[in-house]
Structure 1
Amino acid sequence: MVKQHSSGDPTPEDHPAESAGDAAEPTTAGSDRVPGSGPSGSAESPESPASPEDSETADRFAIRTYQPPTGGVQFAERRKLTPQERAERRERRRKRTRRQRILSWSMIGLGVLIIGSIAWVGWRTYQAYTHLTAAAEHVSDLQGELDDLAAIDRDATARTVAALREEASAARSAVDDPLYRAATVVPWVGDQLDAVREVGLVVDALSTEVMPSMVQITDTLDPSVLAPEDSTIDLAPIQAAAPLLQRADEVVNDSRQRMAAIDRSDLVGPVNEAVLELWGKLDQAAGITGTGARAARLLPPMLGADGPRTYLVAFQNLAEPRATGGIFGSYALVQADQGRVRILDQGAASRTLGTFDPPIATISPEQRALYSNLMTIYPQDVNFTPDFPTAASLFAQMYTARKGTAIDGVLAVDPVVLSYLMKGSEPIDVGGGVTLTADNVAQVLMSDVYAKFPDLRQQNDRDDYLAAATALAFNRVASGAANASAMVDGLAQGVRERRVMLWSADTTEQADIGATMLAGALSTDVEQPTIGVFLNDGTGAKLGYYLHQDVAVTEGKCADDGRRELLVDVTLRYDAPSSGLPEYVLGLQKAGTAYVLQTNVTAFAPVGGGVVRVLKDDGIATFTRSQDQSREAAWTTVQLAPGESTTVQFTVLGPVEGAGTASDVTPDLVLTPGVHTTSTSIDTYRTCRLPDAA
């Protein structure tokens, strides 16, 4: 047995045989081991000394006893803790457990709070949507109830307004919730919530500041209250309604701006549709409140609330077409003072005002190319241009030059609109066994009068008769004897058809009028293309009474510069008799053959567009091209015998569209109003993409 020392290493004394080395081991004869033999037992010469390699091999395979090393870890005797140390350890464990419990409950509480907040915001969003949907229905109901001012059910309207305000208030309460407002900062989701909130705030503003005012205004501005009585209009209701109308218009336009400021690029379908729907309703409301606010600003001063005003009322004779309708045939000089309107003078433009040489004003070379200088020489030609402010200003200058009376404005009407205003009125006796009614006033003033005075030498008698008849019709309307509701409806229809136009010499008032259809001016809005088709008689005849017009606008091809060609087809039908008409009706300068109608047809391109081609019954037509009112226009002459018709096609260019995605556009169409209703057809066209945007 080997003795183990504390150091763990064996000593030579423990192994005497190993201490002498292998070289001291004796060799005996007959021994089994051969001196110098290796592990494999091969013999080795006794004379050969051992090589270092042999020593290393022997040492490598020498047998030794393995002794494990002494362990490095020693365990001391466990010390007992003192009572204070045990208490401190327990306290530490208790605090650690409490912190873990607080953290766990905090995380649970936070999760519950987040889930609860999301659920609450979702609930408030649902509430807002529900109340806004109900409010929208009430708005539609209210619009229907206010359509006919003469048949308003005041109690029903009051209930609708109350319900609207309740729904709108509930919607605003939902979107004004603190959690809801906080959620509007969350990316993407916040965009949806913020858009809904804007819709809610706008609807609430409409329900509290616009709709109640509009209902109140309908009480104040009832047609029966506003109708003239003894040629006097009571201005007090209009002045009382003015502040309400102004405020309603401000709220509507502020709301439109709020809708326009919403970024709709990331809105989901239903939210985007809600924004667009409200925006559309606001545009409709702006048309109503804007017109009302302007009327409240204009009517009192223009009707003499601040002092007498003097106006020319021009009666357009549609039997001899002009761009705005017909020649300024007869006229009346009227004065408005504190709402009372009375006729001061009347006459025939051609006979009373005569001609002006030199011309009353200077027009541009471009206008001369379209109209010649005649519009500055003859009162009946001032409206060769379709721009009513230009025509009215020239007419006022001519009257002042002849009569010395300053003119504050010009109002133009025609016999057709007189027929609208006289609906429900009693017949008017104009002498000679003739009575005017809503059904025959247009025929009497534009056709029968020429049969009554057929001789050219009877022009003065005819002019006096026309002046007296139109004055009687005008006085009947102004007196209040006509049906108030019919008069209001007829006036509105006349404005829509461009049969009623107004110009003021006051630039501030004219700016207000210029924003309405009363202005009789072509729109300059580039975003909404407008095409004009206007007629001017070419012989001084009254054959326009037998002229019918149809206009169609269709899409053409894309031009090389990215503008869309629009095809404007103007079909003229002429149904005059081939005999029996008075000499005066046939014209002072006949178109080669009696009864032949000669008309100059002018087409105006949209702002930024142009006219590139004119065809007549599929053949190329000669035409003159120039500019008026910052638009390119072209005219060509048409001659028709009784029973004939022709189609003139103008190819006009739309404005240059920006690069990018094409869009659908429906152009506006402005026409010369005639004796007969014009049939129109306007197709929506697709804008062209610029070549570099393809």
Structure 2
Amino acid sequence: MLVAGVGFGGWLGFEAVEAKSNLYQARASAAEAKDAFAQGDAEAAAKWVGEAQSHAQLARDSTHSLPWNIASRVPWLGSPFETGQQISDVVLGLVDDVLQPSQQVGAAISPDRLLEGNRLNVTLLRDAGPQLSDISAAAAKLDGEAQAIAEPTYLSALRDARTQLQAQVSDILSTIHNTALAARLAPSMMGADGPRTYFMGFQTNAEARGTGGLLGAFGILHVDNGIATVDDLSANDQINGPFTPIDLGAEYTEQYGYTNPTTDSRNSNQSSHFPYAAQIWKSMWAQESGMNVDGAIAIDPVALSYVLRAVGAVAMPDGEVITKDNVVELTESTAYSRFPTDQRARQMYLQDIANAVVKKMTGPVESPHHLLEALGQAIRERRIAVWSSSPSEQKILEETPLAHAIPTDPAPYAEIVINNLGGDKLDYYLRREIEYTADGCDGDTRMSTVTVGLTNIAKNEPLPDYVANSAGLLPQLPVKAPRGTMFTSVRLLATNGAELVSVLANGQRVAAFENVERGHPSFEVQVAIPPGQSGELSFRLSEPTAPGAARVPIQPLLDTVTPTISVPECTN
């Protein structure tokens, strides 16, 4: 019996070493395969998928061997062995049911095949749609199985492996889900069924608005059978009305109506809910031109810098070269010092730059992979927003990161929305920090805090009046502040049902304007930040203990913010 026990232990130990090694190799190869898919490298993807499949099968064989099956049935002591079996099952399913079919369809719709010169092959993408939907469904099933893997009663290394696998499967699911949605949506929106037109707004982050920045310039994007062209851009003063307002609901009117957002393009995108701005732009353009566009798109100079990184620099008629490194500074800062008083010349300069970049982007593309990678980064940073006037298309869009729609579900939520109150261009110098913390999941409600740090990095140096004078403030307001002071509306959209306990500005209690937007309570504080100074707002809340992961959408301004989130995820 002693010899048998030692032999059993040795056999089990051998299988454990093999399982650990092969699981590690399978997960690493799966990650490499995902990266190869993203880069459009079909050959590398096939190689890594093959290696992942081999290691995943060996790991499953080990975790379902005779000694492992026996050990997994021992009460309490068998818990890690049961977890190991579940992990190996999920890893093998990930390779067989998701990565292998993804590799096959990925080779068929690689970037070099999807983008042919300046045309998106909408037929190829549409044909891949059903298979991508099947793969997405398989990935969703595996994600559910991964989240259901039992937590081992001991062995922290196995507990960590479980957590890492769950994150990896969720990440792969997100990528495949978005790709499947694109295959369903892009062909029709890119003119596979007939020509489409879109209002394309260029947002100026130097003057913050809810969707990003002030609508500075615009053009009309035409797409037909995957080929995109853009009319020469115009300045926002070419949308000058007068306009008949549109009705976006009582809540919207209550919060924004006093600024005439549906008839004044400068105030058209104060809400961070992009469908509101898009509908306003569509209405204004229809009244201005008689054209009813099929949707709207927003983009900013930072996104243009990513595009230039992919497609290369552009040369202006006067010889100035616009690159990925200078396009943001030129359009958000230099233009105002170069043309401090001649607004028309400045507008033409900015339009010429945007025109040159857009024409480069919609022309023949030498590296489709690099362009798609650049657009992907801009989408992840919420620097591109899209809305469709087709309800069915918009419903699909709102499942993607492109919609920029404020959700209406009850999951924990904290969105900080900045709007420039001064009519200046000082938000070029704004830097933000955002933190969202909450207590545990006991009880129907819990305390939470959303903290916002704001810094004005403008230096004590002369700035053009157009940048620093805050001419947008009402003249009757008795405001005295140093030149270059930011006057800013800071609004928190909180979890549905949250109640405000207090707001502290640099430790001092202040009042907040309270409203509701799409079911979310809205708390607004207006602040002044002198040049070179920082400030902190702290919103203390009592919010429902709602199930789901916390979300903190980041408004696309000049800086890139990674929020700090310490909110326990509760279940039903």
Report the TM range for the smaller structure's normalisation: 0.7 to 0.9
AA aligned to 1:677 is T
Shift of 1:459: 4.0
Alignment check: 8 A CA contact 2:493 2:523 kept: yes
Aligned to 1:636: 525
Aligned to 1:504: 388
Residue by residue over 1:358-383, the C-alpha shift from the partner in whole angstroms, topping out at 9 and shown as x without a partner, is: 42224324652356352222123221
Report whether the alignment pairs 1:673 with 2:556. Answer: yes
Report whether the alignment pairs 1:655 with 2:544. Answer: yes
Report whether the alignment pairs 1:625 with 2:511. Answer: no
Partner secondary structure for residue 396 of structure 2:
helix
Partner secondary structure for residue 444 of structure 1:
helix
* C-alpha distance in structure 2 between counterparts of 1:558 and 1:131, whole Å: 36
Aligned to 2:258: 372
Report whether the alignment pairs 1:539 with 2:428. Answer: no
Aligned to 2:99: 211
Alignment root-mean-square deviation, CA: 4.0
Shift of 1:248: 1.6
Alignment check: 8 A CA contact 1:422 1:437 kept: yes
- The counterpart of 1:421, out of the listed 297, 303, 307, is 307
Alignment check: 8 A CA contact 1:536 1:599 kept: yes
* C-alpha distance in structure 2 between counterparts of 1:654 and 1:129, whole Å: 47
Residue by residue over 1:226-260, the C-alpha shift from the partner in whole angstroms, topping out at 9 and shown as x without a partner, is: 4462x322334423543432222111112223445
Aligned to 1:467: 351
AA aligned to 1:395 is W
Aligned to 2:211: 324
- The counterpart of 1:601, out of the listed 481, 490, 498, is 490
Shift of 1:340: 0.5
* C-alpha distance in structure 1 between counterparts of 2:95 and 2:308, whole Å: 37
Residue by residue over 1:549-595, the C-alpha shift from the partner in whole angstroms, topping out at 9 and shown as x without a partner, is: 23344568999974123141322324155534044763443474654
In the alignment, structure 1 segments of 5+ residues that lack a partner are 1-114, 659-664, 690-694
AA aligned to 2:518 is Q
Aligned to 2:291: 405
Partner secondary structure for residue 422 of structure 1:
helix
* C-alpha distance in structure 2 between counterparts of 1:284 and 1:648, whole Å: 33
Report whether the alignment pairs 1:360 with 2:208. Answer: no
- The counterpart of 1:394, out of the listed 253, 267, 280, is 280
Alignment check: 8 A CA contact 2:241 2:287 kept: no
AA aligned to 1:626 is N
Aligned to 1:520: 404
AA aligned to 1:446 is E
Shift of 1:335: 1.1
Report the more deviating stretch, 210-219 or 576-585.
Answer: 576-585
Shift of 1:385: 0.6
Alignment check: 8 A CA contact 1:451 1:582 kept: no
Report whether the alignment pairs 1:682 with 2:564. Answer: yes
Partner secondary structure for residue 528 of structure 2:
strand
Alignment check: 8 A CA contact 1:315 1:328 kept: yes
| Higher gyration radius (CA) | 1
AA aligned to 1:639 is A
Report whether the alignment pairs 1:614 with 2:503. Answer: yes
What is the aligned residue count?
560
Report whether the alignment pairs 1:165 with 2:47. Answer: no
Shift of 1:319: 1.4
Aligned to 1:300: 187
* C-alpha distance in structure 2 between counterparts of 1:251 and 1:558, whole Å: 31
Report whether the alignment pairs 1:488 with 2:372. Answer: yes
Report whether the alignment pairs 1:579 with 2:468. Answer: no
Shift of 1:453: 3.6
Shift of 1:534: 1.3
Identify if the C-alpha distance between structure 1 residues 162 and 489 changes in structure 2 by more than 3 Å, giving closer, same or farther.
closer
Residue by residue over 1:39-72, the C-alpha shift from the partner in whole angstroms, topping out at 9 and shown as x without a partner, is: xxxxxxxxxxxxxxxxxxxxxxxxxxxxxxxxxx
* C-alpha distance in structure 1 between counterparts of 2:460 and 2:539, whole Å: 29
Shift of 1:627: 1.0
Alignment check: 8 A CA contact 2:444 2:544 kept: no
Residue by residue over 1:508-530, the C-alpha shift from the partner in whole angstroms, topping out at 9 and shown as x without a partner, is: 22222212221212345544x22
Identify if the C-alpha distance between structure 1 residues 129 and 382 changes in structure 2 by more than 3 Å, giving closer, same or farther.
farther
AA aligned to 2:294 is D
Alignment check: 8 A CA contact 1:387 1:522 kept: yes
- The counterpart of 2:434, out of the listed 542, 551, 572, is 551
Identify if the C-alpha distance between structure 1 residues 432 and 167 changes in structure 2 by more than 3 Å, giving closer, same or farther.
closer
Residue by residue over 1:4-52, the C-alpha shift from the partner in whole angstroms, topping out at 9 and shown as x without a partner, is: xxxxxxxxxxxxxxxxxxxxxxxxxxxxxxxxxxxxxxxxxxxxxxxxx
Alignment check: 8 A CA contact 2:42 2:106 kept: no
Shift of 1:200: 4.8
Partner secondary structure for residue 669 of structure 1:
coil
Identify if the C-alpha distance between structure 1 residues 317 and 266 changes in structure 2 by more than 3 Å, giving closer, same or farther.
closer
* C-alpha distance in structure 1 between counterparts of 2:441 and 2:40, whole Å: 50
- The counterpart of 2:177, out of the listed 285, 290, 293, is 290
Residue by residue over 1:261-300, the C-alpha shift from the partner in whole angstroms, topping out at 9 and shown as x without a partner, is: 66x4897768877665543332121111111111111122
Partner secondary structure for residue 517 of structure 1:
coil
Identify if the C-alpha distance between structure 1 residues 676 and 577 changes in structure 2 by more than 3 Å, giving closer, same or farther.
farther
* C-alpha distance in structure 1 between counterparts of 2:431 and 2:154, whole Å: 50
Shift of 1:536: 0.5
Identify if the C-alpha distance between structure 1 residues 353 and 538 changes in structure 2 by more than 3 Å, giving closer, same or farther.
same
Shift of 1:407: 1.8
Residue by residue over 1:435-456, the C-alpha shift from the partner in whole angstroms, topping out at 9 and shown as x without a partner, is: 311111112222233334433x
Report whether the alignment pairs 1:280 with 2:167. Answer: yes
* C-alpha distance in structure 1 between counterparts of 2:373 and 2:569, whole Å: 37
Alignment check: 8 A CA contact 2:194 2:225 kept: yes
Alignment check: 8 A CA contact 1:430 1:469 kept: yes
* C-alpha distance in structure 1 between counterparts of 2:147 and 2:38, whole Å: 35
* C-alpha distance in structure 2 between counterparts of 1:298 and 1:267, whole Å: 45
* C-alpha distance in structure 1 between counterparts of 2:413 and 2:31, whole Å: 29
* C-alpha distance in structure 2 between counterparts of 1:550 and 1:608, whole Å: 25
* C-alpha distance in structure 2 between counterparts of 1:412 and 1:391, whole Å: 10
* C-alpha distance in structure 1 between counterparts of 2:64 and 2:491, whole Å: 57
AA aligned to 1:655 is P
Alignment check: 8 A CA contact 1:146 1:152 kept: no
Report whether the alignment pairs 1:439 with 2:325. Answer: yes
Aligned to 1:311: 198
Identify if the C-alpha distance between structure 1 residues 307 and 177 changes in structure 2 by more than 3 Å, giving closer, same or farther.
farther
Alignment check: 8 A CA contact 2:486 2:529 kept: yes
Residue by residue over 1:412-455, the C-alpha shift from the partner in whole angstroms, topping out at 9 and shown as x without a partner, is: 11011101110154432334453311111112222233334433
Partner secondary structure for residue 199 of structure 2:
strand
- The counterpart of 2:26, out of the listed 130, 138, 154, is 138
Partner secondary structure for residue 539 of structure 1:
coil
* C-alpha distance in structure 2 between counterparts of 1:280 and 1:547, whole Å: 33
Alignment check: 8 A CA contact 1:242 1:297 kept: yes
Identify if the C-alpha distance between structure 1 residues 152 and 274 changes in structure 2 by more than 3 Å, giving closer, same or farther.
same
Identify if the C-alpha distance between structure 1 residues 638 and 530 changes in structure 2 by more than 3 Å, giving closer, same or farther.
same
Alignment check: 8 A CA contact 1:370 1:626 kept: no
